[in-house]
Structure 1
Amino acid sequence: MTVASNAFALAADRANRGFERGHTVPVRAASVFFGFAFIWAGAGLWLVPGLDLEPGVLMVKAFLSIMMVAAGIGMTQIATARKLAEMHFDPRTRQVHLIEMRGRGRRESLRSVGYDAISSARVTDQSLVLLDQRGKAIAEMALEGPDMRDEAIAHLRSQSITLS
């Protein structure tokens, strides 16, 4: 059974729970700024007057503009790329597996949490939080609306995990 989401929304001690950090805000801001700068530069290259319209000059302009626009799009994707994450509930081993989808359909298991470590779960329209006996978040995953919330509640109830 799987509850899927587009991104993990983890609390502050995310590194202690085995999750990678995403790009920081300055890195994302810089990638957006330079990405759009490359896109505009690639388009603006055609506004610069040439000495004459020789085929060699046009080929160089075309090559440079295509490379700059491609680099700009790639840089803006750094800021907007969201990782696909899933929680797999395994009743046979009585564990919840936190899995992240990597490039080219590759899956990486980030962490496995046993049902005995989970005291309760808190579910809202925006997130699913698994809590330990002290009330501390073991894992948190972003949900996208009431349909995904209902699916998460159904999975938790089928595995006898209490809701708080």
Structure 2
Amino acid sequence: MAVTENIPMNGAGIVSPRGLYAMAEALPLVLSFRPNYQLRSIVLRVVGAAMVLSSTGIWLMPGEAYDPEMALIKIGISVFFLFAGIALMMVNDPDNHPDAYFDPIRRELRVLQRSGQGRPRTVLRRGYDSLGSVRFKDRSVELFEIDGSLLIRLPLSLGSTRKLLREQLSGLVPILS
């Protein structure tokens, strides 16, 4: 509430362009790494769950009950299905994806990854002055090193996020067209 008190608004209570820039100056901008394909995530989870269920279901198949060679093969297949199914179900876990924070006060980019206990841990910290350039694409933003190599590519879902990020980085980082 205290942040919005000093933001210029017009008579209708809508934030003016100067107010939008003031908000961009005051608040950090957060971009999350999320899987772009929701269908892929759902399919992997369903296939993973089917593999976990089939690891126990293989023992319900009819066959000779006392064949030791077949029992050894069933154990190997069920252990493989169990671990592969668990891996497929966890591959797109949203808690495993890092978040990128663009801090206008410190003028730095921070990438935070959650640890096993849920605590954020900084995996990348770069000042805006150490970035080479930035390029805005249709649905992403790319940050480049000073030598021109790609540092990080972040997905952008909203046009307002693109505008706020462009305003925050303009004048500090060269923007490529």
- The TM tier, using the shorter chain, reads 0.5 to 0.7
**For 1:144 and 1:45, how far apart are their aligned partners in 2?**
47
Deviations 1:39-91 (A, max 9, x none): 3231232334798xxxxxxxxxxxxxxx9987554232354446322221222
Query: Alignment length, in residue pairs?
Result: 122
SS state at 1:105 partner: coil
Q: Is the CA contact (8 Å cut-off) linking 1:3 and 1:152 kept in structure 2? A: no
> What pairs with 1:1-164 in structure 2 (closer than 5 Å)?
1-7=28-34, 38-48=52-62, 71=83, 73-81=85-93, 83-137=96-150, 139-143=151-155, 145=157, 147=158, 150-160=160-170, 161-164=173-176
Higher relative contact order (CA 8 A, sep 6+): 1
**For 1:71 and 1:157, how far apart are their aligned partners in 2?**
47
Q: Is the CA contact (8 Å cut-off) linking 2:110 and 2:125 kept in structure 1? A: yes
TM-score, normalising length from structure 1?
0.54
Output the amino acid matched with 2:32: S
**For 1:121 and 1:41, how far apart are their aligned partners in 2?**
48
Q: Is the CA contact (8 Å cut-off) linking 2:55 and 2:82 kept in structure 1? A: no
**For 1:132 and 1:76, how far apart are their aligned partners in 2?**
34
**For 2:106 and 2:54, how far apart are their aligned partners in 1?**
54
Deviation at 1:116, TM superposition (A): 0.9
Q: Hey, what does 2:69 align to over in structure 1?
A: none
Percent identity between matched residues is: 16
Deviation at 1:128, TM superposition (A): 2.1
**For 1:104 and 1:127, how far apart are their aligned partners in 2?**
30
Task: For structure 1, list consecutive stretches of 5 or more residues without a partner in the other structure.
Answer: 9-32, 52-66
Across the aligned residues of Structure 1 and Structure 2, the Cα RMSD in angstroms comes to 3.7
**For 1:49 and 1:131, how far apart are their aligned partners in 2?**
60
